[in-house]
Amino acid sequence: MLTILHPELIPAIRSFAGGLLTFRHVETGRISLVVKGQKEAILAAKVNGGFAFYLAPMMSTSGLTVALTTAFFDDGDEPLTIASLLFADDQHTGDLLEMLTYDELDVYFFDDRSREWMSYRAAVEDRGSCLIDGTEFGLLTYHPETAKGLFAALSDWFGIRTSTDDEAAIQIVFKEALAPDDIFVLDATVAGNDYRGSADFSYDSLTRTNPGYFQERDIVAGLRRSFAADQVVLNPRRRDTNKEILDVMVVTCSHVLLIQAKDSPNTESGLNRTLDRKRRASRSQHADALTQIRGGLRYLLRQPIAEIVVGGENWDFAVGDRKLIGIAIIKELFDDEGAAYAKACDSLDDLGGAAIVMDYPSFHAFAHYFRAESSFNAGLEQLIGRIRDTNEWVRPKDFAMEYILAQLDEAKGVTELKNSSKGIRPTPS
């Protein structure tokens, strides 16, 4: 396994939010690939014996350029994807383009918690991309606005891609496993199990037939990046009935976050469900999670001191004047249902709170980039406030991306560059 053979890579993988990460072997000079992504994408790659790269051609004011989509086919028409932008004078871009010219590639798969689940030596089969068909293209210089425009154009292009584009994709076909892929993870570390309600250990596997247990602990791990151990509460229960109030709570001096997660089994049969069934499941999860958050908040507010049981022990606290935010974390969001997600922000108004709906990848991005109690809470308030002010849905993952692009802009002192995102558009291939 990669992190056993090369433990020096662990810090880089942990600090990487997700996507494609390349590294070059000193001994051979060849590049290998780390794919860090959601569990569904990893399982889809395993079930299908590979995945695909699409080099999308796009027109800019400087001429033809390209961007990269990595597709994991849980659904034939709308697969899970990773978007990667390619820029001039960028080492990572150079490594990716070099890697795509190989005949063979070693690929290592990590989830958002930096756990390595599988690795394969794979064939790289370019069936007609712009790298081999003679198409000439250039790369743009990085600028935050350029990046935003490219992300939008890449999403548009992939949504309208044709069967010809599918045939021209670069296929990554697994040939042999580099390590066992039937892995079971047991975490008994103090750092991984120091929150309220912990059993002092947790376990995980890539295939999940009973997803609730695992999703709750993934959420706790994300929250621990921003909040102290004694602020994060797993499975709080009512004192009177011992009924679970919510999956997770965060209680700080200024806020109470009420979190309800709804996931589906991560199994081959689950991946193969029709898109219509996935949509119906998403709507049901959305409604159920908000209903449970509302019920949990009612219990907390019904008397001055909320009487709670956590991990078999009594734990009481007063909500007082803390700000109340509900977070419904569901398996999947659909862009064309944004009106319903926007409406959810007002669902706790009568109880003095606000709410937001996220899918798990959005929550992970949010927790990865807002790594302090103050910035996490402020980010939630800003996101909810923007949605309320405009009455339009803003994807939390996009909001987090805007934040990190602004941070990069500030850190690098980037000024206006000649390449802007104006005029960038998908071009049919």
Nearest-5° Cα angle at 276, 275 to 280: 115
Sorting pLDDT into bands at 50, 70 and 90, what band is 410?
low
Please check whether residue 214 is in contact with residue 186, taking contact to mean a CB–CB distance below 8 angstroms. no
Q: Which three-class secondary structure string do you get for 180-231?
A: CCCCEEEECCCCCCCCECCCCCEEEECCECCHHHHHHHHHHHHHCCCCCHHH
6-42 pLDDT per residue, tens: 888 899 999 999 999 999 988 899 999 999 999 999 9
| pLDDT on residue 420 | 36
Residue 405's contacts (CB-CB under 8 Å, 6 or more residues apart) are 144, 147, 148
Token pair in block for residue 347: 């669902």
Token pair in block for residue 111: 């989830």
Token pair in block for residue 398: 């996009």
Query: Would you say domain 210-394 falls under CATH 1.10.1510?
Result: no
**What SS3 state is found at 269?**
helix
Sorting pLDDT into bands at 50, 70 and 90, what band is 418?
very low
| pLDDT on residue 210 | 86
171-191 pLDDT per residue, tens: 999 999 999 888 888 899 998
Q: What's the predicted TM-score (pTM) here?
A: 0.89
| pLDDT on residue 353 | 94
Q: Give me the residue spans of the domains in the chain.
A: 2-182+421-426, 210-394
Please check whether residue 250 is in contact with residue 259, taking contact to mean a CB–CB distance below 8 angstroms. yes
Residue 73's contacts (CB-CB under 8 Å, 6 or more residues apart) are 44, 48, 51, 52, 79
Nearest to 196 by CA among 143, 245, 240: 245
113-150 pLDDT per residue, tens: 999 999 999 999 999 999 998 889 999 999 888 888 99
Count CB atoms within 10 A of the CB of residue 354.
Answer: 22
